[in-house]
Structures are given as structure tokens and as C-alpha cells.
Amino acid sequence: MTDAVLKLEDVTFRRGQDLIIRGLSLTVHRGEHWALLGPNGAGKSTLLNFCGAWAHPTSGVVSVLGRRLGRVELQALRRDIGHVDPRHPLRSPLSVREVVLTGITGTIETPMRWTPAAEQVEKADSLIASVGLAHRRTAAWPVLSQGERGRVLIARALAGDPRLLLLDEPTTGLDVAAREQLLETIAHVVSATPDLASVIVTHHLEELPATTTHALLISEGLAVASGRAEAAITSDAISRAFKHPIDVQRTEGRWHARARASGVRLGHVAH
């Protein structure tokens, strides 16, 4: 297929003497919605940094939106990628509308001497309404709940009309109700934008949107399973990735995991 939005080919990554990623490959096509799953320390965030053009692999090839890392101006590339990170480092008391507008400028703060055009404000307000926060568009960032911030960041990520949306553990710190609202927002956004591709990082199956189409399971920097979500997210694969016997079920498009009451711990993934 020629509609690859993201392509990682045999990538490795070393940090000092530690081999963090061990020859992983991943191809994400237009309209696909991938989950990167694995335990803490598996290498998920490192892979997402490659996808977002924030880091280069030690070896291997990374192409994002048809452009190869190492041969492209990174700042320009990042403006075409929507990134949702609950640790968004905003320090100013910007309003919801102002935060979303920074998705157009590709900055954290509002650029000096920059004034949005009327159509840009209209677009920001439309995105804010699409994530269910029209009544909060003038509220300041510091007074927002964590769940509201998550939805604002999705609107911000979409402001630049990205072809690729990256979500780095977007439900971190949310209670059950806020988590479900955020997952509903993600599902609504991807359903309304059929050409958009997305990658979400999590280590909890319950945090996967129902719109997830594919999954890559990793453990200790190695691929355990990859492909269509229903084939990759299985009790066997999850148990091997997390090195513990886990039963996986899917109900109405959502996954649930539960450790088995008994059983021995599984060994390490073979290198």
C-alpha cells in the first residue's frame, strides 16, 4: 500500500549501554488507529518519540508523513503531527480558546505579536465545541479539571489539521467518569475524520478507545505481537508482554484484562 502515514523499519535505540528498542518495525496507514501496549519500561514512549519526530533511532529508518528523519526539518514536520500529552508544560493562564490556538502556531505559549485571524478563532471554537467544552472556552487553563485539559489538548492537536494524531497515555490521572468522557471524545474525533491515523500509548487495556483497529505489543524493546487489534490483543500475547498470566476479554468493542487467580509467572521474552 502507498498510503503509509508512519513507517519504522528495523529500528533500534541505545541509551548508554542499555538497548531500549531491539529491531522493531511498524507501518501505520491512513485511517488506522494503533495502540502501543506494554509494561512500564517496555519502550513505548521511545517509539512514540520517533513517531512524533522528537527523537532519532540509533539505527534503522523512520519515515513520518512520507518524510525520513534525518533528511527533513523537524520543526516543520512536527507542525503536521497532532500530539496529546497530559504533561503539557503550559505555565501561563491561557484560556481554553488560546490553548487550542497554539495548536495552529505549533507552540506551547501564544507567540509574541501574533494575533489569530477571525477564521482561526472560528475554527478553534468549532473544535472546542466538538470536544464538548463550548461552555468553557474562556476558562483559564489552571482552573480546568484534568479531564477537561485532556479534551482541550485533543482540540489543540487537531487545530493544525494533522494527518497523524499521537496520544501519550492521555487518560493518566483521570477518574473513571473523566476517562470514559475522554475516550468517547477520541472515538468521536477519529470517526469524524476518516483519513486521520492515530497511535495511542497505554499499559491499560481499559484505556483503549473502541475505535482501535491495530495494536503493537512490546516487552523489553521487542515486539510480542502486531497486527489487527482482535488478533494481537489476546490473553496469550498480553500474558507474554506483561510476563504474568492475564485473561483478556472484549465487550462491545472495549477490552478488559484481569490477572488469573493462580498460575506461575511467565519467563522473559526470548531475545
For residue 8, the surrounding DSSP H or E stretch is: strand 4-15
For residue 194, pLDDT beyond 50: yes
Average pLDDT taken over every residue of the chain = 89
Torsion angle (degrees, nearest 10) of CA 171, 176, 179, 185: 170
* DSSP letter (8 states) at residue 143: G
Mean pLDDT confidence for 104-113:
87
Instruction: Answer yes or no: is pLDDT of 261 > 80.
Output: no
The pLDDT value recorded for residue 3 is 84
Query: Quick check: 84 pLDDT over 80?
Result: yes
Which residue in 2, 10, 43, 42 sits closest to 26, CA to CA?
A: 10
Rounded Cα gap, residues 158 and 176, in angstroms: 24
pLDDT at position 247: 93
> According to the model, what pLDDT value does residue 214 have?
97
pLDDT of residue 2: 56
Question: What DSSP state is assigned to residue 217?
Answer: E
pLDDT of residue 1: 44
pLDDT score for 75 = 78
Long-range CB contacts (< 8 A, 24+ apart) of 255-264?
Answer: 255/205, 255/206, 255/208, 256/205, 256/206, 257/204, 257/205, 257/206
Q: Which three cell numbers stand for residue 69?
A: 528523519
The answer to whether the beta carbons of residues 200 and 212 sit under 8 Å apart is: yes
- For range 85-96, the mean pLDDT: 90
pLDDT digits (tens, 9 = 90+) for 57-83: 999 999 999 899 888 887 778 888 999
- Residues 123-173 have pLDDT tens digits of 999 999 999 999 999 999 999 999 999 999 999 999 988 999 999 998 888
The pLDDT confidence band at residue 271, using thresholds 50, 70 and 90, is very low
> Is residue 262's pLDDT more than 60?
no
Averaged pLDDT for residues 214-243: 94
Cell of residue 38, nine digits: 506494554
Please say whether the dihedral angle defined by the alpha carbons of residues 78, 79, 81 and 85, taken in this order, is positive or negative.
Answer: positive
List the domains of the chain with CATH numbers: 1-80+163-173+196-271 (3.40.50.300), 89-161 (no CATH)
Across 179-203, average pLDDT: 90
3-class DSSP assignment, residue 145: coil
> What is the per-residue pLDDT for 79?
82
